[in-house]
Amino acid sequence: MPEKTDQPLADLEALTGPADEPGRGSLWAVVKVVLFVGVVITLECLVAYLYMPSPDQTAAWAKAALTDATNDEAHADPDQPSGDSLEKPLDRVEVDLEEFSVSAFQPISNTTLRIDFHLYGIVRAEDEVEFHARLDESRHRFREQILVIMRSAELTDLTDAGLGLIKRRILEKTNDTLGKPLLLGVIFSDFSFVEQ
């Protein structure tokens, strides 16, 4: 059997340092890691500072985007339905969908809401006769859908200034009830609710 020599151990000590100083190598490694991380973070901050847009540039970009969006809306197809639009183009008419008075119990707060409103719809002028005919055929189902939507509405839906979610639900359910998407939008008039 060949004799074992301590040569590999001596080479290892030459690379890592003497064996009698146990914490020195690991401390230096920690310092190197901390310095490296510090340099990387500093460089990232410097790059972000140099290449991030200024508040003036951000405001200019936002203004340009808003102008583009406004121009896109101005050139949009007028035949596209919009549930929240209060504008009435010339080829569309408002139809009376009646007054409603709904009581809705709120189990979480143990209160009852009384909701009163007058509902109007927007339809194309050429669809007005068909709309009235289909609405007369399903008047009771239409009223029931409105009552269900209003009774299931959360307090946050009712306090929304535009009543957007409720309008979308009414629009969807009414068109489903009519069997054809004749209703383009809904308008609330004299809307009020009281918590009792």
Give the model's pLDDT for residue 108: 79
Residue 36 pLDDT greater than 90, yes or no: yes
What are the beta bridge partners of residue 111? 106
Cβ–Cβ under 8 Å, residues 109 and 191:
no
> Which position has the higher pLDDT, 54 or 174?
174
Confidence band (pLDDT; 50, 70, 90) for 39?
very high
Name the CA radius of gyration of the chain, rounded: 35
pLDDT exceeds cutoff 70 at 24: no
The residue that leads in pLDDT, 177 or 66, is 177
> Could you give the 3-state DSSP secondary structure of residue 64?
helix
125: tokens are 């002028």
- Whether 22 has a pLDDT exceeding 80, the answer reads no
Q: Would you say residue 111 has pLDDT above 90?
A: no
Residue 74 is predicted with a pLDDT of 54
Of the candidate ranges 64-78, 103-117, 132-146, 164-178, the one whose mean pLDDT is the lowest: 64-78
Query: Residue 105: its pLDDT value, please?
Result: 82
Query: What's the rounded mean pLDDT across residues 28-32?
Result: 89
Average pLDDT of span 133-140 = 91
Is the pLDDT score of 153 beyond 60?
A: yes
**Is residue 168's pLDDT more than 70?**
yes
Q: Quote the percentage of the chain above a pLDDT of 90.
A: 26
Q: How many degrees, rounded to 5, is the angle at CA 62 between CA 43 and CA 167?
A: 125
> Chain centroid to CA 14: how far?
64
- What's the CATH fold of domain 92-195? Tetrahydropterin Synthase; Chain A (3.30.479)
Question: Does residue 84 have a pLDDT over 60?
Answer: no
| Contact status, residue 93 vs residue 123, Cβ threshold 8 Å | yes
Checking if the pLDDT of 151 tops 90, the result is: no
Decide: 134 and 180 in contact? Cβ < 8 Å: yes
pTM recorded for the entire structure: 0.52
Residue count of the chain, please give it.
196
DSSP assignment of 77-128 equals -TTS--TT-----TTEEEEEEEEEEEEEEETTTTEEEEEEEEEEEEEEGGGH
